[in-house]
């Protein structure tokens, strides 16, 4: 039985080709664009792999902070921003800071996984 490669496997193959085969054979602007394309595809791969769990965690954290039953993430984000603006949370509230840090770390793991601020 023939099984098709997964989206992640396809992305990895194209990234590997661009990074390891195409970019070294190209010079100047074309080489630069090949590396940019490989990096963009890697970001897409991380987003596909990590975004669902990151958003589920964000939804849970914000719902808990707001004591809300709403599970619509954009609505929860808007509610939290409004609550912060109204002063419903102290800016040094440990629960608020922990939630915002967790959400920020999850986003950085997608956008910039090598970011030095992620390592304690």
Residue % of the chain over a pLDDT of 70: 97
Cβ count within 10 A of residue 47: 13
Q: pLDDT averaged over the chain? A: 93
Q: Structurally, how many domains does the chain consist of?
A: 1
119 in any annotated domain:
no
Indicate if the alpha-carbon torsion angle 103, 107, 108, 109 is positive or negative. Answer: positive
Phi-psi region of 107 (alpha: psi -120 to 50; beta: other; left: phi over 0): alpha
Mean pLDDT computed over 46-72 = 95
Q: Is residue 119 over pLDDT 80? A: no
Range of the domain at 77: 7-113
Q: Say if 120 falls within a structural domain.
A: no
């Amino acid at each position: 039985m023939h099984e098709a490669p997964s989206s992640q496997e396809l992305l990895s193959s194209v990234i590997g080709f661009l990074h390891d085969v195409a970019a070294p054979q190209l010079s100047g602007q074309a080489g630069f664009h090949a590396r940019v394309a490989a990096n963009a595809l890697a970001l897409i791969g991380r987003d596909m792999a990590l975004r669902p769990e990151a958003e589920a965690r964000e939804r849970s954290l914000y719902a808990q902070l707001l004591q809300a039953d709403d599970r619509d993430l954009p609505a929860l984000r808007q509610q939290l921003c409004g609550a912060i603006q109204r002063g419903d949370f102290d800016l040094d509230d440990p629960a608020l800071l922990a939630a915002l840090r967790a959400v920020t770390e999850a986003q950085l793991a997608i956008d910039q996984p090598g970011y030095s601020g992620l390592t304690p």
